[in-house]
């Protein structure tokens, strides 16, 4: 009924109970994951950087091959991995998010980069001759 989400249902009296239920669940979840949403930015940055004064860099990703599939890993805890497969000289504009080992077409090149919130992105790793 509101595809562009322009109407705020939280203001509706008939949704007071649902709003409280969702707030309670959000509070429970924040405690469960150890998040502190009201932390001042300076403290948040210090926490993300493990108390370091200089922004840490996400570790360079590595690859392994097993059963014809490429697996991507990163030693930085909490890092997300992105990749591009360059095949026939064509590089996609967007990065794909790594989820599980995958096959790469013959004679392709793989570009990989790791990211972690609050850290600098890793250098881009190029794996050729696949």
Digit-coded pLDDT (tens) for 38-61: 888 888 888 888 778 899 999 999
Digit-coded pLDDT (tens) for 61-114: 999 999 989 999 999 999 999 999 999 888 899 999 999 999 998 889 999 999
**pTM of the full predicted structure?**
0.69
Digit-coded pLDDT (tens) for 4-30: 989 898 889 999 999 999 999 999 999
Note whether 87 and 95 are within 8 A (CB): no
Q: In the Cβ-directed half-sphere of 21, how many Cα atoms lie within 13 Å?
A: 4
**Strand-strand pairing, 62-66 and 80-86:** unpaired
Q: What is the pLDDT of residue 130?
A: 66
From the list 38, 15, 43, the residue with the least C-alpha distance to 27 is: 38
Q: What are phi and psi of 110, to 5 degrees?
A: -115, 130
């Amino acid at each position: 009924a509101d595809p562009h989400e322009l109407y705020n249902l939280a203001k509706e009296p008939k949704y007071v109970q649902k709003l409280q239920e969702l707030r309670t669940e959000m509070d429970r979840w924040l405690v469960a994951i150890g998040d502190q949403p009201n932390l001042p930015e300076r403290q948040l940055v210090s926490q993300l950087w493990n108390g370091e004064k200089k922004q840490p860099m996400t570790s360079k990703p590595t690859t392994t091959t097993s059963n014809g599939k490429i697996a991507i890993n990163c030693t930085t805890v909490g890092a997300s991995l992105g990749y591009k497969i360059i095949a026939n000289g064509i590089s996609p504009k967007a990065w794909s998010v790594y989820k599980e080992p995958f096959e790469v077409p013959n004679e392709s090149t793989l570009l990989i980069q790791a990211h972690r919130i609050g850290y600098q992105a890793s250098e881009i790793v190029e794996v050729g001759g696949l």
